[in-house]
Structures are given as C-alpha cells and as structure tokens.
C-alpha cells in the first residue's frame, strides 16, 4: 500500500462504492492503512475520516472530534478507530447543523442527523465494542458512516439553499 495516499475528491468512483468489511486484523496493510488514516485526518484538520476517502473501499472510520481550524467549536474526544461499524438510533430526533468534508473541499451544508446513536464496532484488535454518541460526535460518526455506504453529506441535504461556500461558513461562525 502506498504511503502517499491522497484524499479522494467528489467524483472519484471509490466515494460511491459500498465498502467491504474487514476480516483480517493482523495483516501489515491493515495496520498501515490505520496509520495513514490517522495521519491524513490530522494533516487535513479533520474530525473524522473513512477508508474510502483514501481510496480504500473498506469499513474503517475514525472519529476524532477536537477543535481545529475547520471546526473551532468541536468538543474534544479521544480518537476512536471503528472497524465494521453499525449503529442504532437512540433518539430519533434529527437536528440540522453545518458539515464539511475533506473529500468535498470549499463548501459547507446544513445536514439533518440523528441526535443520539449507539455504535457497535470492532477495535483494531477485532474486539467488539459499543459506544453511545450524541450531538457533534454522533454527527461526525454518521457523516463517516455514510462514506461506507457510498454516500457523501451532500446526498443528505434537504434543500440546495442549505449549501454555502466555506468562506461564508467561517463568516457566520465568527459573527
């Protein structure tokens, strides 16, 4: 696996594929992919990333909410690597909030997401875990999970007027 992977951009076919589950947790390529995902997410000031964004159609997401230049008001949680994740809805209330994506640079959109979810996943060692997520971390997970379904956040936008330039987004959060 190359170590100079680039973030796939909107229009790249891999972003529209349904990701395959991971069944080998011990191979060197798997471990290298996890490292590459972490590094790319941090380099790009992301709060989450999914393997398809590095051109690898496998069921891996990382959520790592923290304040960044892209999300200055994000809460701080330790990075969580989730393999073969699924989720159930804890609170079916949806809330619209702003999202952006490393694979869709330059724009933001208001996207409805469930407020609270429970995520089941495997750790990088293959152990099964569950975690409850609410608010921003739940939003980040649902955004990344969509990448595993071959979707991007723009597919969830209810109205095209909810899409703005990223420069306008930063003006709004600064006001």
| pLDDT tens series, the chain, 175 aa | 555 689 999 999 999 999 999 999 999 999 999 999 999 999 999 999 999 999 999 999 999 999 988 888 899 999 999 999 999 999 999 999 999 999 999 999 999 999 999 999 999 999 999 999 999 999 999 999 999 999 999 999 999 999 999 999 999 888 7
* Residue 77 CA: distances (Å) to CA of 5, 14, 64, 101, 138: 26, 28, 6, 19, 12
101 is in an annotated binding site: yes
Domains of the chain (ranges; CATH) run 13-174 (3.90.45.10)
> Which structure tokens are listed for 164?
């703005």
The reported pLDDT for the residue numbered 3 is: 56
pTM of the model: 0.95
Active site residue 144: yes
The reported pLDDT for the residue numbered 69 is: 87
143 is in an annotated binding site: yes
Choosing from 29, 144, 166, 168, the catalytic residue is 144
């Amino acid at each position: 696996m190359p170590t100079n992977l680039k973030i796939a951009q909107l229009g790249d076919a891999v972003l529209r594929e349904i990701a395959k589950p991971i069944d080998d947790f011990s191979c060197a390529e798997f471990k290298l992919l996890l490292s590459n995902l972490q590094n790319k997410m941090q380099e790009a000031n992301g709060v989450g990333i999914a393997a398809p964004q590095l051109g690898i159609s496998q069921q891996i997401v990382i959520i790592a909410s923290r304040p960044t230049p892209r999300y200055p008001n994000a809460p701080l949680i330790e990075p969580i690597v989730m393999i073969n994740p699924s989720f159930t809805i804890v609170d079916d209330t949806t809330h619209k909030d702003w999202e952006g994506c490393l694979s869709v640079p330059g724009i933001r959109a208001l996207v409805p997401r469930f407020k609270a979810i429970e995520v089941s996943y495997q750790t990088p060692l293959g152990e099964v875990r569950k975690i409850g997520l609410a608010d921003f971390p739940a939003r980040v997970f649902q955004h990344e999970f969509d990448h595993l379904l071959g979707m991007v956040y723009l597919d969830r936008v209810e109205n095209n007027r909810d899409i703005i330039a990223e420069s306008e987004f930063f003006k709004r959060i600064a006001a």
